[in-house]
């Protein structure tokens, strides 16, 4: 079993597959890296309580996937994203150095956790203290995913999390020095990434997906979650005021963006996507975009 998650930041090859799992579905995106990056195909299938290996076997045959490097995003609820003080060690030693520091935050033995970690930029929290995010997932679960891929013509290269995969997409879309908020709304969950200079400063998630955002009467909890993130980014992290918020595409995204724009101080719009990515989207909410980010990996 792994002592670490497969690198959250591993760079993908020229053609790579991103897969996002949830309790109900599997969403995928196939990317050809280049200038520009091209979305070759994408889609989603329901799991219907079937084994992951069975669903993947069907997909590889239907899509004619053969020896493709694959990047898997863990389902929400199977991992924890923990913020803690960072010791003065190198990046490669950070996860192991933090294992016992986060032991009280886990509901299971820290020795049984697969970990990966990355430090926040040095100017976060006004430089008063060094902080890091730690992703923790039980080793048996990581091992089960490895087993699901072991007999398939797919090469499992990376196991990552939605917060990091979303950031990797955002790094391609938002490259100005100004601070931005990226809001990814999937069917059941919400992911918020606050970033500047292509670096992540704050990541949050909440059970506020499109299943709950059915009309304007349901939007106030979302406004509250976003405003809390903006206030924390300004008052605690010390990065000032965010003026731009982008939300992930969806059939209702334009109406939601208009409502948020009227009720939040920053400008709010639907996330702009290049034509090379937008053309083959199937419309499976934010999970498709997170799958794209997983397939892309970090910027060079």
Instruction: Give the CATH number, domain containing residue 178.
Output: 3.30.420.40
Domain contains 12: no
Contacts of 149 (CB under 8 A, 6+ apart): 53, 56, 70, 72, 156
Q: What is the pLDDT of residue 70?
A: 95
pLDDT tens per residue across all 300 residues of the chain: 234 566 665 555 689 999 999 888 999 999 998 888 899 999 999 998 899 999 999 999 999 999 899 999 999 999 999 999 999 898 889 999 999 999 999 989 999 999 999 999 999 999 888 999 999 999 999 999 999 999 899 999 999 999 999 999 999 888 778 899 999 999 899 999 999 998 999 999 999 999 999 999 999 999 999 999 999 999 999 999 999 999 999 889 999 999 999 999 999 999 988 888 877 676 656 899 999 999 998 887
Q: What is the pLDDT of residue 235?
A: 95
Q: What is the pLDDT of residue 177?
A: 80
Domain count, the chain: 1
Long-range contacts of 203-211 (CB under 8 A, 24+ apart): 203/81, 203/133, 203/163, 203/167, 204/228, 204/229, 205/76, 205/81, 205/162, 205/163, 209/185, 209/285, 210/185, 210/186, 210/250, 210/252, 210/285, 211/187
Domain contains 191: yes
Gap between the Cα atoms of 61 and 125, Å rounded: 49
Rg of the chain over Cα atoms, rounded to whole angstroms, equals 19
Domain that holds residue 243: 174-273
Domain contains 257: yes
Domain contains 240: yes
Any idea what DSSP says for residue 216? Answer: G
Q: What is the pLDDT of residue 11?
A: 59
Residue 130, both tokens: 């060094």
Domain contains 121: no
Domain contains 100: no
Domain contains 182: yes
Gap between the Cα atoms of 18 and 42, Å rounded: 9
Domain contains 246: yes
CA distances from 12 to 15, 62, 177, 293 (A): 8, 23, 26, 11
Q: What is the pLDDT of residue 9?
A: 56
């Amino acid at each position: 079993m792994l002592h670490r998650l497969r690198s959250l930041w591993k760079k993908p090859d020229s053609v790579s597959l991103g897969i996002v799992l949830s309790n109900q579905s599997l969403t995928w995106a196939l990317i050809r890296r280049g200038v520009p990056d091209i979305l070759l195909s994408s889609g989603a299938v329901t799991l219907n309580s079937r084994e992951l290996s069975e669903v993947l076997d069907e997909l590889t045959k239907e899509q004619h996937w053969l020896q493709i490097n694959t990047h898997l995003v863990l389902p929400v609820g199977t991992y924890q994203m923990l913020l803690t003080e960072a010791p003065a060690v190198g990046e490669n030693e950070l996860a192991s150095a933090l294992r016992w520091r986060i032991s009280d935050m886990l509901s299971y033995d820290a020795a049984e956790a697969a970990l990966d970690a990355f430090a926040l930029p040095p100017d976060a929290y006004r430089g008063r203290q060094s902080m890091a995010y730690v992703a923790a997932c039980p080793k048996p679960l990581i091992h089960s995913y490895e087993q699901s891929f072991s007999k398939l013509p797919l090469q499992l290269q990376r196991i990552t999390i939605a917060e990091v995969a979303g950031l990797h997409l955002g790094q391609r879309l938002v490259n100005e020095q100004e601070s931005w908020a990226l809001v990814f709304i999937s069917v059941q969950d919400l992911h918020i990434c606050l970033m500047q200079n292509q670096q992540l400063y704050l990541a949050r998630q909440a059970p506020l997906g499109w299943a709950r955002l059915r009309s304007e009467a349901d939007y106030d909890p979302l406004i509250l979650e976003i405003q809390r993130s903006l206030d924390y980014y300004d008052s605690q992290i010390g990065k000032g005021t965010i003026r731009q918020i982008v939300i992930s595409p969806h059939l209702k995204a334009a109406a939601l963006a208009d409502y948020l724009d009227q009720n939040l101080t920053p400008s709010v719009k639907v996330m702009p996507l290049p034509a090379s990515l937008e053309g083959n989207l199937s419309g499976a909410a934010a999970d498709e975009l997170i799958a794209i980010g997983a397939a892309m990996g970090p910027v060079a």
